[in-house]
Structure 1
Amino acid sequence: MPPKSPAQILLDKADKKANSSGGWFTSSTTKFEEAGDLYQQAANSFKLEKLFKEAGDAFAREAECREKCKETNEASNAWWNAAKAYKRGFPDLAIQALTQTIVHLTQAGRFRQAADREKEIGQIYLQESNDLRRACESYVRAGDWYAQEDATATANGCYKDAADLHADLDEYPQAIARYEQVADHSLTSALTKYSVKEYWLKAGLCALAMNDTVTARRNMAKYGNQDATFPSTREAKFLTALIEAVEAGDQESFTGAVVEFDQVTKLDNWKTAMLLKLKRGIQEEPLLT
């Protein structure tokens, strides 16, 4: 039988301490505090050995000991440490641990930190399991918590990510509502005002993806009322050209507008995918005579 690793020896000590009946003179609180410390040492030792699942499990055991002693801050931290270990290949367990962290943070009124952890959950859903629906829900929840803590810029970042995901899920009305919400916030500050044309462009593309040029035009007029400089921007002119091409069922002028815009402002992946979707829509529409 191979010799036990230092981490395994610490884990055994922690288990023994947590399961001991305690003597005459030790309270159960002391017992769990000591066991928690040992689990933490074991977890860090497992991390050194690059055994991330074992490290996460030991941090989770630490968290349970901290909860038994009513040390909620330490419990919240231990769950977060568990999540960071689990992130190395065990996304489902990482999400479970982060969810436990969030329970402690929200109970303590620490919504800013809860939002940070909720945003992490969104990123895991997106990157590890490609679950757009759940990622979107996490970004919205994080955005709401940031907003109530006056972290407006961070909240807007989350709402924008949620809007992009709504559009990826073909939920265009929800996407438009989120882009407009972010644009409204951005208009209130000189620092962020320059970015509204980007959000309005995305909202316009979503209206076209619904094959609704009437709404697209109406929204364009509304945006022009909110910011008098918008109609003269390249984004607004691009949208107008796209609306006209879609109404005319004219693929050539649609492609021409895209190429012209892309030469000056490189199209990102999201816009490229949307524009391809719109172009296919023009092909599929029978020409109205």
Structure 2
Amino acid sequence: MSTNEQKAQQLIAEAEKKLGAKGFFSSLFGGSSRAEDAIECYQRAANLFKMAKNWSSAGSAFSEAAKLHLQSGSRHEAATNYVDAANCYKKTDVNEAVTCFLKAIEIYTDMGRFAMAAKHHQSIAEMYETEAVDLDKAIQHYEQAADYFRGEESNSSANKCLLKVAHYAAQLEQYDKAIQIYQEVATSSLESSLQKYSAKEYFFRAALCQLCIDHLNAQHALDRYIQQYPAFQDSREYKFLNKLIEQIEEQNLDGFTDTVKDYDSISRLDQWYTTILLRVKKQLNENPDLC
């Protein structure tokens, strides 16, 4: 055990001792100051545990401080300590981190601080993306974050979360959900001169998801998109999509592959695009008569 951990353990014992002092006179004199002293001990201990990289013990100490703050009615401080605890637990125990974030979120929503609640739903979603991969839960928390951000008129932050939802919904073959979001965000982007250009990417992604369902749907969607955004018709993305649809209609698997290769040689396709296009190609290969 390091020196910092030993000091932290002493502070934990000191906090427990202060909280253990009971009786009529202790409650009459100095009860609240003992709680404040105990909170300070837990917080100091937590920071010492952090210095020693003992993340689990640091999270536990911050949680104890949060509980005491909550008992004394200091809700903002309690939420802050629960977030501190969650950030420590993130390094060792995702489930405990989520529990602490959710406790903080409950306090923030009760206080009407929805932007803070949204931010921490976003943090939970990010953990489900990476540390404990669970895309369904990531989607759930990104959707909740987007809902709170939108309620606070933080539309840019809401759209960022919704794009994450669409990204993972498409990966999970929830194409209708992904299409709806990409179309909504594209439409929203067209209303802003700064974000207008990004609509091209969202219409592109939506059309690729349409291709996973049916190429005729994709063609009809493209017609709608150029009505909304005429400049899209001149883009490489639009021309690429039309060529893909042409190859599908001709049941030309080699032509489809060559079209993708040609596009990729100029505009590098990332993993998401590659996954979606491989699914379209697989459908063409397995069910050519359906095209």
The alignment's TM-score, normalised by the length of structure 1, stands at: 0.95
Give 1:55 deviation, angstroms.
0.4
1:237 paired residue number: 239
Shift of residue 29 of structure 1? Answer: 3.2
1:107 paired residue among 110, 114, 118: 110
Q: Give the CA deviation at 1:109.
A: 1.3
Match of 2:277 in 1: 275
**Aligned residue type for 2:285:** Q
Quote the offset at 1:169 in angstroms. 0.8
Could you tell me how far 1:159 is from its partner in structure 2? Answer: 0.5
CA RMSD for the aligned pairs? 1.9
Letter in 2 for 1:9: Q
How far did residue 18 of structure 1 move? 2.2
Distance 1:112 1:288, change over 3 A: closer
1:153-168 map, 5 Å: 153-168=156-171
Residues 143 and 154 in structure 1, CA contact (< 8 A), matched pair in contact too: yes
What is the DSSP-based 3-state SS (H/G/I as helix, E as strand, rest coil) of the residue aligned with 1:21?
coil
Question: Where do 5+ consecutive residues of structure 2 fail to align?
Answer: none
SS of alignment partner, residue 5 of structure 1: helix
- Report the Cα distance in structure 2 between the residues aligned to 1:20 and 1:195, rounded to whole angstroms: 62
- Seen in structure 2, the aligned counterparts of structure 1 residues 55 and 281 have a Cα distance that, compared at 3 Å, is same
Whether the 8 Å contact between 1:29 and 1:68 is mirrored in structure 2 is no
Distance 1:245 1:19 in 2: 77
Q: What is the aligned length?
A: 288
| The one of 51, 57, 60 aligned to 1:57 | 60
Relative to the length of structure 2, the TM-score reads 0.94
2:79 counterpart of 1:84: no
Give me the whole-angstrom Cα distance separating, in 1, the residues matched to 2:290 and 2:185: 37
d(CA) in 2 for partners of 1:252 and 1:69? 70
Q: 1:31 Cα shift?
A: 2.9
Is residue 33–residue 69 contact of structure 1 (8 Å, CA) maintained in 2?
no
Pairwise CA distance, 1:27: 5.2
More displaced 10-residue stretch of structure 1: 10-19 or 155-164:
10-19
Partner of 2:122: 119
Deviations 1:153-177 (A, max 9, x none): 1111110010011011110000100
**In structure 2, C-alpha distance between the alignment counterparts of 1:110 and 1:143, rounded to whole Å:** 14
Letter paired with 1:284: E
Runs (5+) with no aligned partner, structure 1? none
Q: Give the CA deviation at 1:46.
A: 0.9
User: How far has the Cα of 1:269 moved from its partner?
Assistant: 1.1
What is the alpha-carbon distance in structure 2 between the residues aligned to residue 145 and residue 214 of structure 1? 36
In 2 relative to 1, CA 2–276 (structure 1 residues): closer, same or farther, beyond 3 Å?
Answer: closer
Overall identity of the aligned pairs, in %: 35
Distance 1:8 1:231, change over 3 A: same
Give CA-to-partner distance per residue, 1:205-262, whole Å, 9 cap, x none: 111111x122111111111111111111111111111112222221111112211211
Correspondence for 1:21 = 22
Question: What is the CA distance between 1:130 and its match in structure 2?
Answer: 1.1
